[in-house]
């Protein structure tokens, strides 16, 4: 829900929803920290995963770096990585505050197509010529 959607919300309706949620659980679960270097803690909380939490963190940082279109600190890109069930896929979510999400998405789609070609070719041969072009 965007911030503009909240303008039309009736305050009394919102208060009713908050009250009902509080009845379900008055005290939210306390946050916990997971030590990324503790493999046993990772396996307890994330069974059937291929990527470690440390690797997911590294991937998210790399995707955020690749998605950055400027050095301007006022234009921020955030990325998160989520491994799908049983390690069969990876969801990358991106957010930008500068309105350039379509440009970032297009760049990632081009990179994904190149990587997919490399992966498919790697299954059938050991060599592949890859060309990467930049938009004019």
Does residue 1 sit within a domain? no
Rounded CA-CA distance 14/97 in Å is: 27
Instruction: For residues 107 and 36, give the distance between their C-alpha atoms in angstroms, rounded to a whole number.
Output: 30
SS3 label, residue 77:
strand
Q: Tokens 């440390």 map to which residue?
A: 54
Q: How many domains does the chain have?
A: 1
The pLDDT of residue 61: 92
- Would 120 be classed as within a structural domain? yes
pLDDT 10s digits, 81-134: 888 776 677 888 888 887 788 888 888 888 888 888 888 887 655 454 444 444
**Domain contains 72:** yes
Q: Give the model's confidence band at 45: pLDDT under 50 very low, under 70 low, under 90 confident, else very high.
A: low
Structure tokens at 10: 């009736």
Range of the domain at 74: 59-124
Cβ count near 110 (within 10 Å): 14
What's this model's pTM, rounded to 2 decimal places?
0.55
């Amino acid at each position: 829900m965007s911030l503009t959607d909240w303008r039309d919300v009736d305050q009394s309706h919102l208060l009713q929803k908050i009250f009902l949620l509080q009845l379900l659980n008055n005290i939210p679960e306390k946050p916990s920290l997971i030590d990324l270097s503790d493999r046993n803690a990772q396996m307890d909380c994330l069974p059937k995963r291929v990527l470690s939490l440390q690797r997911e963190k590294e991937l998210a940082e790399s995707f955020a770096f690749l998605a950055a279109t400027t050095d301007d600190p006022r234009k921020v890109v955030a990325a998160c990585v989520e491994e799908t069930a049983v390690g069969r896929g990876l969801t990358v979510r991106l957010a930008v505050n500068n309105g350039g999400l379509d440009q970032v998405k297009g760049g990632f789609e081009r990179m994904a197509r190149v990587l997919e070609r490399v992966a498919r070719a790697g299954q059938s041969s050991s060599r592949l010529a890859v060309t990467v072009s930049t938009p004019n």
